[in-house]
Amino acid sequence: MTNLAERVAAGDRRALGRLLSQIEREDPEAQKILAGLNIRPDRALVIGITGASGTGKSTLVNALTRVLRKGTTDEPPQTVGILAVDPSSPFSGGAILGDRIRMRDLAGDDGVFIRSMASRGHLGGLSRATDCAVRALDAAGFEIIIIETVGAGQDEVEIARQADTVIVLETPGLGDDIQAIKAGILEIADVLAVNKADLPGAEAAAASLEAMLNLEKKGEDGWRTPIVSTVAATGEGMQALAAAVFRHRDYLKRSGEWARREQERAGRNLEERLRERLFDRWKASAGENALADAVRKVASRECSMEEALERLLLKEDAAAKSKG
């Protein structure tokens, strides 16, 4: 067990893969291994990438990864861990088609690790699993972690909040110029990429995004969301995108946001996990059927919701006393 934790820290890819599988299926063992992982004094930069389907996210993630692996004019080459998270899909990790194509594309590079994670039916679980997976990749020493999410709904916003720097992807010509920008998505963008910028309408799309940014982000705090035009398929604009990401990282560190976002994230994740564990503990102590029995009584109008709740809360106390 500590053995697996040590192997993850030492960069053993099979051990990392096993840990991520345990995390994905919510195996309690994973919690013990995560508790035993080393904590690096510094942490990875976590990039979230989101956008509607058809915007070319996977291609862009690959192209960006290649640039990060080579290094830019200002930055040395970095190791990259990629988590492709799909809140809408019940398919599970590591073996979906897109992944295999990607793995071939980035194959043979020990500085890259790719992993898919899929929903197990509840978003809370996926967002928790994403947090754990990020920490596993961090402990394994990856310098940059990319979380790629499918779609741009509320679920994706939730997952993108696990990132330091959020890139929102747009493309011209998806019907309306700005149709694919959903409410709330622009707000979370630290960097906007207009991908497929060789298509007609790219300039108009960039201009309307610019206008929307000016409307929505007026009075922001020292960071002006840049709009970068890219053609991920040919690699065009990828250096500029990487540069924008690093500029944002520098801004985060300079302004104190780097620590603030980590604090916020730790707070959200820890509280979430605590609530879950308290409920699990209650269930273990009160008995599996206590809640179902109470629900039946409330639904059949034998007692009020409030009475049922008070009785359920007393149940654990009684159980704890009779044990103690």
Q: How far is CA 111 from CA 22, 83, 242, in A?
A: 22, 14, 17
Measured from the CB atom, the residue of 139 and 191 that comes closer to a second copy is 139
Q: What is the rounded distance in angstroms from the CA atom of residue 31 to the CA atom of residue 300? A: 40
CB of 298 to a second copy, least distance (A): 4
Strand ranges across the sheet with 191-194: 112-118, 80-86, 144-149, 45-50, 165-170, 191-194, 227-229
Cβ neighbours for 259, distance < 8 A, ≥ 6 positions apart? none
Q: Which is nearer to a second copy, 203 or 293 (CB)?
A: 293
CB of 291 to a second copy, least distance (A): 7
Q: Coil, helix or strand for 241?
A: helix
Distance of closest approach, residue 242 Cβ to a second copy, in angstroms: 26
Please state, in angstroms and rounded to a whole number, the distance separating the CA atoms of residues 107 and 101: 10
Burial of 176 (0-12, 13-18, 19+ CB in 10 A): exposed
From the CB of 268, what's the least distance to a second copy, in Å? 9
Amino acid at the residue 159? I
Q: Which is nearer to a second copy, 25 or 277 (CB)?
A: 277
92: buried, middle or exposed (CB in 10 Å: 19+, 13-18, 0-12)?
middle
CA distances 295 to 190, 206, 208, Å, are: 45, 53, 51
Residues engaged in binding a second copy (CB under 8 A):
31-32, 34-35, 37, 39-41, 43, 131, 135, 153-154, 183, 259, 262-263, 265-267, 269-271, 273-275, 277-279, 281-282, 291-292, 294-296, 298-299, 301, 303-310, 312-313, 320-321, 324
User: Smallest distance, Å, CB 227 to a second copy?
Assistant: 25
- Residue 29, classified by CB atoms within 10 Å of its CB into exposed (0-12), middle (13-18) or buried (19+), is middle
Closest to a second copy by CB, 37 or 114: 37
Contact 166, 50 (CB under 8 A): yes
Q: Closest separation between CB of residue 317 and a second copy, Å?
A: 9
- The encoded tokens of residue 163 equal 């990132």
Residue 101 vs 309, nearer CB to a second copy: 309
223 vs 258 by CB, closer to a second copy: 258
Q: CB of residue 262 vs a second copy: minimum separation in angstroms?
A: 5
Q: Which is nearer to a second copy, 32 or 217 (CB)?
A: 32
